[in-house]
Protein backbone atom coordinates (compact mmCIF):
# COMPACT_ATOMS: atom_id res chain seq x y z
CA UNK A 1 0.00 0.00 0.00
CA UNK A 2 2.86 2.34 0.89
CA UNK A 3 4.55 1.45 -2.35
CA UNK A 4 1.44 2.35 -4.33
CA UNK A 5 1.28 5.68 -2.57
CA UNK A 6 4.93 6.38 -3.20
CA UNK A 7 4.58 5.48 -6.86
CA UNK A 8 1.60 7.78 -7.33
CA UNK A 9 3.51 10.61 -5.67
CA UNK A 10 6.58 10.07 -7.86
CA UNK A 11 4.34 9.94 -10.90
CA UNK A 12 2.77 13.30 -10.12
CA UNK A 13 6.12 14.85 -9.27
CA UNK A 14 7.83 13.64 -12.40
CA UNK A 15 5.00 14.03 -14.91
CA UNK A 16 5.78 17.63 -15.81
CA UNK A 17 8.08 16.90 -18.75
CA UNK A 18 7.50 19.45 -21.49
CA UNK A 19 4.83 21.07 -23.64
CA UNK A 20 5.30 22.36 -27.17
CA UNK A 21 2.57 24.57 -28.52
CA UNK A 22 2.19 26.57 -31.72
CA UNK A 23 -0.61 29.12 -31.50
CA UNK A 24 -1.88 32.14 -33.34
CA UNK A 25 -1.75 35.51 -31.64
CA UNK A 26 -4.17 38.01 -33.23
CA UNK A 27 -3.25 41.68 -33.37
CA UNK A 28 -3.71 43.78 -30.24
CA UNK A 29 -3.97 40.71 -28.11
CA UNK A 30 -2.08 39.04 -25.33
CA UNK A 31 -1.89 35.33 -24.61
CA UNK A 32 -0.66 33.94 -21.29
CA UNK A 33 0.27 30.44 -20.23
CA UNK A 34 0.60 29.35 -16.62
CA UNK A 35 2.48 26.48 -14.98
CA UNK A 36 2.41 25.37 -11.40
CA UNK A 37 5.97 24.64 -10.27
CA UNK A 38 7.66 23.30 -7.17
CA UNK A 39 10.50 25.10 -5.45
CA UNK A 40 13.83 24.30 -7.03
CA UNK A 41 12.32 23.07 -10.29
CA UNK A 42 14.36 24.09 -13.28
CA UNK A 43 12.44 25.26 -16.33
CA UNK A 44 13.37 26.29 -19.89
CA UNK A 45 11.31 28.45 -22.20
CA UNK A 46 12.00 28.60 -25.94
CA UNK A 47 9.89 30.65 -28.27
CA UNK A 48 10.01 31.54 -31.96
CA UNK A 49 7.78 33.64 -34.15
CA UNK A 50 7.00 31.62 -37.27
CA UNK A 51 4.72 33.92 -39.25
CA UNK A 52 3.25 37.40 -39.38
CA UNK A 53 4.32 40.98 -39.90
CA UNK A 54 7.91 41.62 -38.81
CA UNK A 55 8.15 38.21 -37.16
CA UNK A 56 8.50 39.69 -33.68
CA UNK A 57 6.59 39.53 -30.41
CA UNK A 58 6.82 40.88 -26.84
CA UNK A 59 7.39 38.28 -24.14
CA UNK A 60 7.56 38.41 -20.36
CA UNK A 61 7.81 35.82 -17.59
CA UNK A 62 6.64 36.44 -14.02
CA UNK A 63 6.96 34.41 -10.84
CA UNK A 64 4.17 33.78 -8.26
CA UNK A 65 5.01 37.12 -6.56
CA UNK A 66 4.53 38.98 -9.86
CA UNK A 67 8.23 39.77 -10.12
CA UNK A 68 9.33 39.99 -13.71
CA UNK A 69 11.94 37.31 -14.38
CA UNK A 70 12.33 37.99 -18.08
CA UNK A 71 11.04 40.76 -20.31
CA UNK A 72 11.83 41.42 -23.95
CA UNK A 73 10.23 43.63 -26.55
CA UNK A 74 9.90 42.65 -30.19
CA UNK A 75 11.98 39.51 -30.16
CA UNK A 76 12.03 37.02 -33.02
CA UNK A 77 13.21 34.06 -31.00
CA UNK A 78 14.77 33.52 -27.63
CA UNK A 79 15.62 31.02 -24.95
CA UNK A 80 15.20 31.50 -21.20
CA UNK A 81 16.23 29.22 -18.32
CA UNK A 82 15.45 29.65 -14.66
CA UNK A 83 15.32 27.70 -11.43
CA UNK A 84 12.12 28.29 -9.53
CA UNK A 85 12.89 29.95 -6.22
CA UNK A 86 9.29 29.90 -5.07
CA UNK A 87 6.57 27.32 -5.25
CA UNK A 88 3.58 28.57 -7.20
CA UNK A 89 2.20 29.60 -10.54
CA UNK A 90 4.65 30.98 -13.08
CA UNK A 91 3.30 32.95 -16.02
CA UNK A 92 4.61 33.29 -19.60
CA UNK A 93 2.92 35.99 -21.66
CA UNK A 94 3.17 36.93 -25.31
CA UNK A 95 1.91 40.27 -26.48
CA UNK A 96 1.08 41.43 -29.98
CA UNK A 97 -0.42 44.69 -28.73
CA UNK A 98 2.04 46.83 -30.67
CA UNK A 99 0.78 45.50 -33.99
CA UNK A 100 -2.31 46.95 -35.63
CA UNK A 101 -3.10 44.41 -38.32
CA UNK A 102 -0.70 41.49 -38.45
CA UNK A 103 -1.38 38.41 -36.43
CA UNK A 104 1.54 36.30 -35.42
CA UNK A 105 2.08 32.57 -35.19
CA UNK A 106 4.24 31.78 -32.15
CA UNK A 107 5.92 28.51 -31.20
CA UNK A 108 6.42 27.93 -27.47
CA UNK A 109 8.40 25.13 -25.82
CA UNK A 110 8.02 24.99 -22.05
CA UNK A 111 10.17 22.34 -20.40
CA UNK A 112 9.94 21.89 -16.66
CA UNK A 113 11.00 19.29 -14.16
CA UNK A 114 12.50 15.94 -14.99
CA UNK A 115 11.70 13.64 -17.87
CA UNK A 116 9.18 10.92 -17.08
CA UNK A 117 11.09 7.73 -16.28
CA UNK A 118 10.54 4.92 -18.73
CA UNK A 119 9.26 2.39 -16.26
CA UNK A 120 7.79 3.44 -12.95
CA UNK A 121 10.33 1.62 -10.88
CA UNK A 122 13.42 2.82 -12.74
CA UNK A 123 15.35 4.37 -9.90
CA UNK A 124 18.06 6.70 -11.10
CA UNK A 125 20.04 6.33 -7.86
CA UNK A 126 21.05 2.71 -8.54
CA UNK A 127 24.11 2.11 -10.70
CA UNK A 128 23.42 1.40 -14.34
CA UNK A 129 25.10 -1.38 -16.30
CA UNK A 130 27.28 -0.42 -19.22
CA UNK A 131 24.53 -1.31 -21.70
CA UNK A 132 21.99 0.75 -19.80
CA UNK A 133 24.23 3.80 -19.56
CA UNK A 134 25.01 3.47 -23.29
CA UNK A 135 21.29 3.41 -23.99
CA UNK A 136 20.79 6.42 -21.76
CA UNK A 137 23.46 8.47 -23.53
CA UNK A 138 22.05 7.52 -26.94
CA UNK A 139 18.63 8.59 -25.70
CA UNK A 140 19.94 11.99 -24.61
CA UNK A 141 21.77 12.51 -27.92
CA UNK A 142 18.66 11.58 -29.89
CA UNK A 143 16.70 14.13 -27.89
CA UNK A 144 19.23 16.77 -28.97
CA UNK A 145 18.81 15.61 -32.58
CA UNK A 146 15.04 15.88 -32.32
CA UNK A 147 15.32 19.38 -30.84
CA UNK A 148 17.68 20.39 -33.62
CA UNK A 149 15.18 19.09 -36.18
CA UNK A 150 12.43 21.13 -34.56
CA UNK A 151 14.63 24.24 -34.74
CA UNK A 152 15.29 23.69 -38.45
CA UNK A 153 11.67 22.91 -39.15
CA UNK A 154 10.63 26.23 -37.63
CA UNK A 155 13.30 28.23 -39.49
CA UNK A 156 12.31 26.51 -42.74
CA UNK A 157 8.63 27.26 -42.09
CA UNK A 158 9.42 30.92 -41.54
CA UNK A 159 11.56 31.16 -44.69
CA UNK A 160 9.00 29.29 -46.76
CA UNK A 161 6.20 31.59 -45.62
CA UNK A 162 8.30 34.63 -46.51
CA UNK A 163 9.04 33.15 -49.94
CA UNK A 164 5.36 32.42 -50.57
CA UNK A 165 4.50 35.94 -49.46
CA UNK A 166 7.10 37.33 -51.89
CA UNK A 167 5.69 35.23 -54.71
CA UNK A 168 2.20 36.57 -54.11
CA UNK A 169 3.44 40.15 -53.90
CA UNK A 170 5.38 39.83 -57.16
CA UNK A 171 2.22 38.64 -59.02
CA UNK A 172 -0.01 41.23 -57.44
CA UNK A 173 2.28 44.15 -58.15
CA UNK A 174 3.13 43.03 -61.70
CA UNK A 175 -0.53 42.95 -62.65
CA UNK A 176 -1.07 46.19 -60.76
CA UNK A 177 1.76 47.95 -62.55
CA UNK A 178 0.55 46.83 -65.98
CA UNK A 179 -2.90 48.23 -65.27
CA UNK A 180 -1.41 51.49 -63.97
CA UNK A 181 0.74 51.70 -67.09
CA UNK A 182 -2.28 51.42 -69.39
CA UNK A 183 -4.31 53.89 -67.37
CA UNK A 184 -1.50 56.45 -67.23
CA UNK A 185 -0.61 56.27 -70.92
CA UNK A 186 -4.25 56.58 -71.94
CA UNK A 187 -4.74 59.40 -69.51
CA UNK A 188 -1.69 61.28 -70.83
CA UNK A 189 -2.89 61.07 -74.42
CA UNK A 190 -6.41 62.19 -73.54
CA UNK A 191 -5.17 65.11 -71.45
CA UNK A 192 -2.81 66.27 -74.17
CA UNK A 193 -5.58 66.10 -76.72
CA UNK A 194 -7.86 68.08 -74.44
CA UNK A 195 -5.25 70.89 -74.12
CA UNK A 196 -5.17 71.33 -77.88
CA UNK A 197 -8.93 71.16 -78.24
CA UNK A 198 -9.43 73.94 -75.68
CA UNK A 199 -6.75 76.12 -77.28
CA UNK A 200 -8.35 75.69 -80.69
CA UNK A 201 -11.74 76.84 -79.41
CA UNK A 202 -10.10 79.74 -77.54
CA UNK A 203 -8.30 80.80 -80.71
CA UNK A 204 -11.56 80.50 -82.63
CA UNK A 205 -13.51 82.66 -80.17
CA UNK A 206 -10.87 85.37 -79.79
CA UNK A 207 -10.57 86.06 -83.51
Partner 1 sequence: MTVVASCVGVLLLFAWFTPSKALYFHIGETEKKCFIEEIPDETMVIGKYRTQLWDKQTGSFLPATPGLGMHVEIKDPDTKVILSRQYGSDGRFTFTSHTPGEHQICLHSNSTKMALFAGGKLRVHLDIQVGEHTNNYPEIAAKDKLTELQLRVRQLLDQVEQIQKEQNYQRYREERFRMTSESTNQRVLWWSIAQTVILIITAIWQMRHLKSFFEAKKLV
Interface residues with partner 1 (CB under 8 A) are: 1, 3-4, 7-8, 11-12, 15-16, 19-24, 31-36, 105, 110, 118-122, 129, 131-132, 135-136, 138-139, 142-143, 145-146, 149, 152-153, 156-157, 159-160, 163-164, 166-167, 170-171, 174, 177-178, 181-182, 185, 188-189, 192-193, 196, 200
Least Å from the CB of residue 65 to partner 1: 19
CB 53 to partner 1: min, Å: 17
CB nearer partner 1, residue 18 or residue 53:
18
- Least distance from partner 1 to the Cβ atom of residue 59, Å: 15
CB nearer to partner 1: pick between 121 and 206:
121
Of the CA atoms within 13 Å of residue 82, those in its CB half-sphere come to 20
C-beta of 152: minimal distance to partner 1 in Å? 7
Residue closer to partner 1 (CB basis): 81 or 149: 149
Least gap, CB of 93 to partner 1 (angstroms): 10
Please give the angle made by the CA atoms of 21, 87 and 113, to the nearest 5 degrees. Answer: 45
Closer residue to partner 1, CB minimum distance, 85 or 93 = 93
Of residues 99 and 105, the one with the C-beta less far from partner 1: 105
Amino acid sequence: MQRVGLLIVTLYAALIGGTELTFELPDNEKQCFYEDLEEGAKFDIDFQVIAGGNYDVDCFVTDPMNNVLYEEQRKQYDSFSHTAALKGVYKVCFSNEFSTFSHKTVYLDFRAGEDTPLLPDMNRATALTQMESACLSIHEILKVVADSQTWYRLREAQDRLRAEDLNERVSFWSIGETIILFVVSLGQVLMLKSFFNDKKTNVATST
